[in-house]
Amino acid sequence: MTLSKGQSVRQIVPIITGTIIAKKFNDDTDQFEFCVAYTDADGHPSERWFTESEIEADPVADPAAQ
């Protein structure tokens, strides 16, 4: 597929769904950060840190979050 100048596009980003396994406060950014354990697209267990503004409760996995 060839993209053309002026064409509307969207970023391809896998959605990570997982469980918070750690939480810390970052004094430099004045924000909480959360380590999320998840399974990547290849089926391997992975972990990644997110700021609170980058994640939200999953309403499918946690109906109380709705």
pTM of the predicted structure, to 2 decimals: 0.75
Task: Kindly report, residue by residue over 30-64, the tens digit of the pLDDT.
Answer: 999 999 999 999 999 999 999 999 999 998 877 66
Concatenate the DSSP letters of all residues of 19-57 into one string.
EEEEEEEETTTTEEEEEEEEE-TTS-EEEEEEEGGG---
Show me where the domains of the chain are located: 18-53
pLDDT category at 65 given cuts 50, 70, 90 is: low
